[in-house]
Amino acid sequence: MMTLLVKVHQLSHPLFLSVCDNQGALNHLQPLKTGLRLCHHKEAEADLLLTFQQWSDDNIIYTPQWVQGHQDATKKEKDLTDLKCLNISMDAIAEAAYILPPELCTNADQEVLPAKIIAVYLHNAKITSSLKKLIIKAYHAPAMETYFTHKHKLTAYNTTHINWSGLKNFMTKPKMHPRSIAAKYILGSLPT
């Protein structure tokens, strides 16, 4: 949006205040003063970092400022500053975006930003984070499916009626020790 405003109004050296409640992203902006490196492409906030890099290349002067997020949970709106109110409004808009149907959230038609140069798609979805993890998972998925189907004598009917999302949540929420015991129990490798 800022790039569009600069080009439409032909601003030569505009100055913007960029407000963000993501402290980690703002910390990663510090190395951008010396230039963008390949490691920044691996960050979850790559789009934001590349946008700031593009602004720097276009001589757009920006000042990143952190505001504490989720202030509406503890304070009334009249007691908040304008920037905090703006952050609350943007959070509401971002949260509403997740309510959209999956075909509108991520699909093969999702654009690749010019600063990114490339994008990786897996099963018609643009990968935006955890690239290595998702590629490894996709590569090993057929072998794992064959192994579990054979070992546990699962039929096509059984695999379609297993609550996979519930099982995944159960296996990711607990701490490591209870999770390992549950995995051993499910796989039948606990001593009796």
SS3 of residue 90 by DSSP: helix
pLDDT at 50: 73
Read off the pLDDT of residues 130-158 as tens digits, 9 standing for 90 and up. 777 888 888 888 888 888 888 878 888 88
**Other beta carbons within 10 Å of 90:** 14
- Do 71 and 18 have their domain in common? yes
Question: For residue 33, what pLDDT band results from cuts at 50, 70 and 90?
Answer: low
- Do 122 and 176 have their domain in common? no
- Do 14 and 95 have their domain in common? yes
pLDDT at 192: 55
Which amino acid is present at 114? Answer: P
Give the predicted TM-score (pTM) of the model. Answer: 0.45
- Do 18 and 34 have their domain in common? yes
pLDDT at 45: 64
- Do 18 and 108 have their domain in common? no
Is it the case that residue 86 has pLDDT exceeding 80?
A: yes
Is it the case that residue 93 has pLDDT exceeding 70?
A: yes
In the chain, the number of structural domains is 4
Per-residue pLDDT averaged across 56-61, rounded?
Answer: 78
- Do 166 and 115 have their domain in common? no
Range of the domain at 179: 162-192
pLDDT at 139: 85
Read off the pLDDT of residues 18-29 as tens digits, 9 standing for 90 and up. 787 877 767 766
Q: Report how far apart, in Å, the C-alpha atoms of 148 and of each of 143, 158, 190 are.
A: 9, 12, 17
- Do 6 and 96 have their domain in common? yes
Among left, alpha and beta (phi > 0; psi -120 to 50; other), residue 121 is beta
